[in-house]
Amino acid sequence: MDLVTLTIDGQKVTGPKGKSVLEAALDAGIYIPNLCHDPDLKPFGACRLCVVEIEGMRGLPASCTVTATDGLTVRTDGPKVHQVQKVAVELLLADHPMECLTCAASGNCGLLRVASHVGIDHIRLKKTQRDYPIDDSNPFFYRDLAKCVLCARCVRACQEVVGVGAIDFAHRGYQRKVATFGDRPLAESRCESCGECVVRCPVGALVPKRRAKPSREVKTVCAYCGVGCGMYLGVRGNTVVSVRGDRQSPVNHGLLCVKGRFGNDFINHPDRLTTPLVRKDGELRPATWDEALDVVASRLKEYPGDASAAIASAKAPNEDNYVIQKFARAVMGTNNVDHCARL
């Protein structure tokens, strides 16, 4: 791996070639305020919060748009930098709702972290308020445009990561906002409800409808198909309250579809079967797996050839499904093989 070495605030920083100055700084533990940066998205430079001074470069460039190269000397906290960052944050706060204690992003708000880092103790600008209705048409999350900071993370994720393009910027100036085609509710758009926009929103503009702070997380694999996406289930007591993708998983790199992210209510559903059932005297009763398999094996003899069928699972790996169809054809003597991939 090719490495580059640059100096940030007097500290020598070495990182992979091709990364931006912002990424090199963050990897080295040097915080530069930012809102529109996301490691999965292309540099955007919209929030103007990650501006820095670079020796030999005019003006104050956005560090997310400058590639780190050997010999660069970067200063992240000079008077000019601080002034630009402070004004940018004040402009954002001027029309941002001040309901931090009850906001869904409380404790994990990017804007609040930036404001604290810059040192905002009061708002000098006249306070305004955008009058946008909350879009609750999506079954899994709310969209509150009054809290949007126009970082475009949601827009870029929908276009660059998911490839759907259900949302984009509309209008200009103070009227600029994120909108669907025709400014319709999300439920009437091309949105696939994958939630990639939700997990990237740095404020409370996009939040899940069902939310609670987990007490612990369990690393697992999504059970919906045979892809095997890695994920973390947030658990509170015996209830799953949150889901996030595993960025270290070589299968999905942290990405999840709508089923994996929002379709886990079945785990605690009262009608969920948690043990095999065997019919005896006309009634189903709980049984062990060994007992259930013995019953199935003994009854198969009563249904030779095409009188029987095998049902495979789309949630199982391809290798397991191959074994199932092979067993059906070679042992059971039937080509009646079906699957459940119709969710």
Rounded average pLDDT over 160-189: 95
Global pTM? 0.85
**Distances in Å between the alpha carbon of 148 and those of 89, 154, 326?**
13, 10, 54
- Phi, psi angles (nearest 5°) of residue 4: -125, 150
pLDDT at residue 342 above 70? Answer: no
**Model pLDDT for residues 3-58, shown as the tens digit of each residue:** 999 999 999 999 999 999 999 999 999 999 999 999 999 999 889 999 999 999 99
Q: How far apart are CA 223 and CA 229, in angstroms?
A: 9
Burial status of residue 152 (CB atoms within 10 A of its CB: 0-12, 13-18, 19 or more): buried
- What 8-state DSSP symbol labels residue 238? T
pLDDT at residue 149 above 70? Answer: yes
**Model pLDDT for residues 309-332, shown as the tens digit of each residue:** 999 887 788 888 899 999 999 999
Q: How far apart are CA 165 and CA 154, in angstroms?
A: 10
- What 8-state DSSP symbol labels residue 329? I
How much of the chain, in percent, has pLDDT values that exceed 70? Answer: 99
37, 50 in Cβ contact below 8 A? yes
Rounded average pLDDT over 246-256: 95
Q: How far apart are CA 240 and CA 20, in angstroms?
A: 37
Domains in the chain (CATH in brackets) are: 3-94 (3.10.20.740), 135-208 (3.30.70.20), 216-268 (2.20.25.90), 277-338 (no CATH)
Q: Which of 292, 296, 305 is nearest to 336 (CA)?
A: 305
Query: In the numeric block, which tokens belong to residue 248?
Result: 């270290």
Look at residue 138 in the predicted model and tell me its pLDDT: 96
pLDDT at residue 247 above 60? Answer: yes
pLDDT at residue 127 above 70? Answer: yes
**Model pLDDT for residues 91-118, shown as the tens digit of each residue:** 999 999 988 999 989 889 999 999 999 9
pLDDT band at 212 (very low <50, low <70, confident <90, very high): confident
